[in-house]
Amino acid sequence: MRIAVLSDTHVGDKARALPPVLIEKMRNVAPELILHAGDITDPSVLETLEEIAPVIAVRGNVDYLHLPEEETVEADRLRIGMIHGHQLLSLNAQFLSLKALDMEVDILVFGHTHRFYFDSFSLYGRKVYLLNPGSPTFPRWDDAGFAVLRTGEEPSVKRVKLW
């Protein structure tokens, strides 16, 4: 399964709109599902993304939309957990890996830092993957973009930069 993953779009408070290049590149990826890890800030973002593929989103620290704080998604045989990240004391790998174990997920998608990150860790006999897609509109010390997660035996992630 091909899943587009993004976070921290901040349309309305930091960005005027989703960049057309984001929509174009996302359409080219042709995802079967889109995951948004929060700080959406404007419901029009979800409406625009829904035109590409079904969207599952969680609430970020600046969102006032009625979205869950965390979500779990089944994709193929993988369980994907979603949070924004502001709920945790720290966004280091240890806290995030423990959160993944707590949610009983194989992959934990998070945002909040506006920076791309993908790695895997083994804890207590389980392998967990951590994915932050970065931000397509307001990156911090990073390139604007999103991630494409491919599920299967071994999940893989491709980073898609906008510029």
Report pLDDT digits (tens) over 43-95: 999 999 999 999 999 999 999 999 999 999 999 989 999 999 999 888 999 99
Could you tell me the two tokens for 159? Answer: 């980073």
Closest CA to 42 of 68, 71, 62: 62
Residue 152: pLDDT band by 50, 70, 90 thresholds? confident
pLDDT-derived band at 154, boundaries 50, 70, 90: confident
b/e for 96-132, b at 16 or more Cβ within 10 A?
bbbbbbebebbbbbbbbbbbbbbeebeeeeeebbbbb
Mean pLDDT, residues 32-53 taken together: 97
pLDDT higher than threshold 90 for residue 25: yes
Task: Provide the number of structural domains found in the chain.
Answer: 1
pLDDT at residue number 57: 98
**Pairing, β 78-83 against β 107-109:** parallel
| Domain coverage including residue 101 | 2-161
Provide the CATH number for the domain around residue 59.
3.60.21.10
* In the predicted structure, residue 34 carries a pLDDT above the cut 90: yes
Segment (H or E) for 109: strand 107-109
